[in-house]
Chain A
């Protein structure tokens, strides 16, 4: 293999698994260290710069970082990254003084359609540059699906209001209760660019199921029903409730139903439990609240008696997997199963809908109903001054993906408004510096602790079910947060190797607790991976290959389960190994929004 090019920041970026997996590339180990140092405000600001809604995300994020966490490969459970983010938000001081302000006007005017996380991110990134930002929102408050879909027992309004307020406070001109019904109209208003961040607002229905029309009064589309609850239009539901669907919206529906009078709430899903889209922790939360999840049941009809919904019939199926990977749900042939109910919530997915974007605007759509975009980075539509992001761009995802789109779109809009090519993307901000403090001392807590992951404490179930607005999770206290923060392996403390200094004494290979380091003859990657001290079988994880050493061998480090403990560098007599802190921040329209040392 050729020597690894560590001058390409993407190599070390990929080593920081959590940050790499985060769509917004939040520097996770960095803020976790700040939490361990009780610098909650700094930890919050590091988050805020990357993901704009730390308090919201610390409660609701889909956490792609956690399955990626290296700790999960070294022992069973990853670091509690998401809930540590909440710790930063919970214990921070007033941050108002440290947030950026709107910059002097640059004469450019931008329309933001929809007040959700992606639009707000665009606003946050562009405001310091002096853009005049007009935010259009159909509801009375900004927040989008963060407000309408996430129940307040998971995300208190106060948290959302605070973080939405930080963005709007940067001089964003809001037009609430203003539903945009014509793109052509907006395009006549002299905006230099238009950002569409209106989400994927159409909940899927089961229009052809027998009894659907007749039982309509007791059948609700999940996201619409959640929005009605959030805006206090709905405050009760029948005693027996069936929730159809296996995603996170279904979990929010069933738990909300429990709080609005649903005593017997069931989730019924077509696929096997293990293949449900809902995050494992959201399923656990539902089960904890006494909600059974019944899998392998396909809805067949709504059953009515005297014109009123009394239950539903389901067909039992089993999953059969074909050679090409396709899954088929095959009926078991058993009789239909009847479940009684008073109300049904349909939470089987949502779709993009742009009835308000006219053909003549020149904005074209794919057969899936999503806009045709220049590419995933620019998010520019077929009409040059119109950009899409969040769920509106590629269909339903999650908050953190919407934020990441917002950052990218803001960069594109800024470049576009300055007459530059949005395709020429600015480089990420990177830094790499040694952590050496003494002969064998590092400026980070390098010895991994053996403590296990702890679950966040919850309020008593009985109290939780009585009050829809009472937050269920209590968050970590500072003592627990410290231990949980210390579980982080500091994967951003990179092992950097200089082959010219190495005397091949083997000290690093001998000391490495996880046998990551080998001195071997070079070869093709597959061959080389097989010849290491412990073969490097996970090809998603890179191997770090040095230039040829004096004996003709190369040093190979398997990044997979490296503890970043620094022992290789401590035991190196010539400083051929050094622990260097790698900082990476994805390119944003306004660089350096906050200052944290």
Chain B
């Protein structure tokens, strides 16, 4: 087994606006099973950060416990990171975001870490609208403990041991929609063309961005009868294609009239909905919930940007915190002295 990725790179690798190549966004070599969907998600996050030219040292990766939560080791080796207690990444993320509102926060969690042990924290993270990208690598099983059904396993899905799941699965995207998340998306680890623009849009979004990514467990949940295998997922995919165009780029790609529609984010960047998704209304929460439900009833997996409120207020804004990150406030700013105190006291007399 190779534990080291050779240092050589293609001499013709493209460079981003920072003048660096995608290699600067690499992490350690993965120790997940060969072919794990999570590795594709890692690569898509890496590519998205490279394409959006985010300086690696301005990103923080947060995770809990599980196969999914091991992932941050395997991308962005030069970024900040915090591997928290199982299901408790949301509280760490909330604290981090309050301490330094200027970093880009990427939370990586799994179906166990989010839908079971971390459910209580997850719901409150949505409610507080912490400014972060929250990715669930959803494989419908506990891969780290030999593939038992997880809380997102679909009703009737056959486990590797041969038993059909007798419970209805928790649909995290529906839950996020219901709880008022300002950015909700769903995708598939095997569809980088959709994953990358979604991640870029989510990182540009000012507020809580939730992305549920179906990510097959190649070892315990990739057999016939599983509803989250590569083959089964591909067969039932209902893809809403999209592009992400950052604000600083003029729109170079020319779209034919009627085949594309732009949705502008708060920072001026644009999500271009293409082809099948052109009529989809991303600003209608009720319609989104209906669309997800209808797809589920038809046995389809609807992927793409399900809902977006570009004008939402994130936690820092909601709490009216200082515009400057709290961790950068100096003693003078935090304790302006007796003169100021006196003037405040005077004002209360």
Contact = CB atoms under 8 A, between A and B. Distances in A.
Interface stretch (B32-40, B63-71, B131-139, B300-308): B32-40
Contacts of B216: 505
B230 interface: yes
Given A504-B190, A510-B40, A572 B35 contact: yes
Q: Which bracket fits the contact residues of B?
A: 20 to 34
B12 interface: yes
A70 B33 CA distance: 30
B34 A572 contact: yes
Interface string A493-537: 000000000011111011101111000000000000000001101
- SS class of chain A's interface: helix, strand, loop or mixed? loop
Interface centre among A73, A75, A514, by most B CB within 10 Å? Answer: A514
A73 B9 CA distance: 10
Contacts of B40: 505-507, 510
A53 B13 CA distance: 41
Contact of A440 (B2, B12, B13, B35): B2
Contacts of B12: 534-535, 537
Contacts of B11: 73-74, 561
A551 B234 contact: yes
A507 B10 contact: no
B35 A573 contact: yes
Given A74-B11, A534-B14, A567 B230 contact: no
A440 B34 contact: yes
A481 to B, nearest CB: 22
A77 to B, nearest CB: 13
Contacts of A566: 2
Q: Which bracket fits the contact residues of A?
A: 35 or more
Interface string B4-19: 1111111111100000
B234 to A, nearest CB: 7
A513 B43 CA distance: 12
Interface string B143-159: 00000000000000000
Nearest to A533: B10
A573 B10 contact: no
A591 interface: no
Contacts of B190: 504-506
A308 interface: no
A294 B13 CA distance: 40
A503 B33 CA distance: 14
A570 B234 CA distance: 24
Interface string B21-33: 0100000011001
Contacts of A537: 12
Contacts of A448: 6, 8
26 contacts: A74-B8, A439-B1, A447-B4, A448-B8, A450-B7, A503-B35, A503-B230, A504-B234, A505-B35, A505-B36, A505-B189, A505-B230, A506-B189, A506-B190, A510-B42, A510-B43, A511-B39, A513-B9, A515-B9, A515-B10, A535-B12, A561-B10, A570-B1, A571-B35, A573-B35, A573-B222
Interface of A: 73-75, 439-441, 446-448, 450, 503-507, 509-511, 513-516, 534-535, 537, 550-551, 561, 563, 565-567, 570-574
